[in-house]
Homo-oligomer: A and B are copies of this chain.
Amino acid sequence: MSIIAVGSLAFDTVTTTEGTREKMLGGSLTHFSNAAAFLSKPKLVGVVGEDFRGEPWKFLEGKASSLEGVEVLAGEKSFFWQGQYTSDFDTAITQDTQLNAFAKFKPVTPASYLADDPLLFLGNIDPVIQTDVAGQCKGCRLKLLDTMNFWINNTPDALREAFRHVDAIVINEGEARALSGETNLVTAGEKLMAPHFRFLILKKGSHGVFVFGKDYLVSLPAYPIRKVVDPTGAGDSFAGAFVSYLDARKVDPSDREAMKKAAVYATVVASFAVEGFGVEGIDRVTPAMIEKRTKEFCDIAGFMFE
């Protein structure tokens, strides 16, 4: 069992009500790995510039089981994003995007990654590349894809093609509505599930998450966070924790109760993500802190039929 994860590796300059942090380690692959590492360190496929050497590289080495698929482009800088969140944390206003090395991303999945019956996570990147990587990883027992409004709006056909090559997608509320044309999130999720997928994760931020399966629906509230510091990467952290749980516990996606437990676990791990800037929120977490918060989450939201 193992995980192959593909996505962006970046530096982020982020401003929230809690302050500004410059050139923090970021990118979907970084946040995914940071959250997955507690249960299953993924094998990464990505691209960086020379500025990723040193501390950032060491950080990834601690969270991943292999960096063989991460290319370092000579003479290039890494992907850079700068953004500011509104005071309700609902919207990120992009102030600067420099693709740099990421513009030349031609992922090659190392042959060694395909051993151990891996899961595949395709982070939010160009759907043409997602389709290409899905093709390289045909043997993976379960393939998940994350996307965003940019691809839904600008390359819908390529995205629909990418959908044909995966088993599950991870989207948020706005993306679900845009993809389905439905306002109601339950019908949106069910409409998207129907033709394509074995399951669909619909993230609702502070309002929790839906997991749509072939013949079930799971709905959980978020773990209540009193002080959000930086929401960047919370969705990728949720995905990383969720996928690591599927891998470590050998979850069958048709098993509703096991999928619910994966969602509980991911809810708890992702809740730490927003309590610090960048990767800090989760990086300082211990397994004991996850267990304690899982118990708290059960006190808050857990119940059984009687």
Contacts and interface: CB of A to CB of B under 8 A. Distances in A.
A228 B182 CA distance: 13
A187 interface: yes
A261 B306 CA distance: 10
Interface in A244-261: 256, 260-261
A300 B227 contact: no
Given A218-B301, A221-B221, A301-B220, A87 B183 contact: yes
Contacts of A301: 218-220, 301, 303
Q: Which of A206, A210, A222, A303 has the most CB of B within 10 A?
A: A303
A162 interface: no
A186 interface: yes
Contacts of A220: 221, 301, 303
A84 interface: no
Interface residues of A, number: 40
Question: Which secondary structure dominates where chain A touches chain B?
Answer: mixed
Interface string A166-187: 0000000000000000011111
Interface string A259-277: 0110010000000000000
A216 interface: yes
A224 B219 contact: yes
12 contacts: A87-B183, A184-B227, A217-B224, A219-B221, A221-B221, A261-B306, A264-B303, A298-B304, A298-B305, A299-B305, A302-B304, A303-B303
Given A186-B224, A219-B224, 18 more contacts: A184-B227, A184-B228, A190-B226, A216-B299, A216-B300, A218-B301, A219-B300, A220-B221, A221-B221, A256-B299, A261-B306, A264-B303, A294-B305, A295-B305, A299-B305, A302-B302, A302-B303, A302-B305
Report the 3 A-B pairs with minimum CB-CB distance, sorted nearest first.
Answer: A298-B305, A207-B207, A219-B221
